[in-house]
């Protein structure tokens, strides 16, 4: 699977209380890896990484809700990987109200981010270049991460659905604008790896997603 200049490998692991998709991506040649949205099951994620003799360089967060960040601290402690999140969602890491864990009667407090991301930034993992696309709406700092013909959309776009906007910082207008202007403009063959549920393509969502009617 293409990811910038390198052949990017992807391992999908549903994790945590809400079965959020965590993605381990790696450059097969250089054995450098990143994990996107480790929302739980840190030991399982690390086992996948160590069993392949990979070096975890980055913990990348599409947004700051607890079901996508719960294993951040554990993985950072075990690997020393750098934590990266959009600057507008960085406060969620250290605030259980903002990351929504408090609403379930628990407290998810993670380390502060090492890297504060902005739209247009790039993350390099081996020879893989991940481009940061700011896609607010589900949260203020929601991002999508794109490498080659693959995009990780977090809770912005799902197969047959879109993200919720009834949380702090959510906006339906922003969400639809992000999808229309920054996702649906991509090639129809772009593979979409969402924060929950199965993968899809931009073209399939254009043709079948009922929430996108009127955007195309």
- pLDDT score for 197: 98
pTM exceeds 0.85:
yes
**Correct CATH for 2-212 of 3.40.640.10, 3.30.460.80, 3.30.930.10, 3.60.15.10:** 3.60.15.10
CA-to-CA separations, 189 to 56, 133, 206, in angstroms, rounded? 29, 18, 11
- Contact predicate 116/143, CB 8 Å: no
Tens-place pLDDT, residues 163-212: 999 999 999 999 999 999 999 999 999 999 999 999 999 999 999 999 99
User: What pLDDT score was predicted for residue 7?
Assistant: 83
Domain positions in the chain are: 2-212
**Tens digits of residue pLDDT in 112-144:** 999 999 999 999 999 999 999 999 999 999 999
């Amino acid at each position: 699977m293409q990811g910038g200049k390198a052949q990017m490998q992807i391992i999908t692991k549903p994790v945590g209380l809400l079965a959020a998709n965590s993605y381990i991506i790696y450059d097969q040649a250089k054995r450098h890896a990143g994990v996107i949205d480790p929302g739980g099951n840190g030991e399982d994620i690390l086992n996948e990484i160590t069993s392949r003799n990979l070096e975890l360089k980055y913990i990348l967060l599409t947004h700051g809700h607890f079901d996508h960040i719960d294993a951040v601290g554990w993985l950072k402690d075990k690997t020393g990987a750098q934590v990266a999140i959009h600057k507008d969602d960085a406060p969620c890491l250290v605030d259980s109200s903002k990351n929504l864990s408090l609403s379930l009667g628990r407290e998810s407090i993670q380390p502060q981010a090492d890297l504060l991301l902005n739209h247009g930034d790039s993350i390099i993992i081996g020879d893989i270049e991940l481009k940061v696309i700011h896609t607010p709406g589900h949260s203020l700092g929601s991002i999508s991460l794109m490498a080659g013909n693959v995009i990780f959309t977090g809770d912005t776009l799902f197969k047959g659905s879109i993200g919720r906007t009834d949380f702090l910082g959510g906006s339906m207008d922003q969400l639809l604008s992000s999808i229309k202007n920054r996702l649906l403009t991509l090639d129809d063959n772009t593979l979409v790896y969402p924060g929950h549920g199965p993968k899809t393509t931009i073209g399939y969502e254009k043709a079948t997603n009922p929430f996108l009617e009127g955007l195309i």
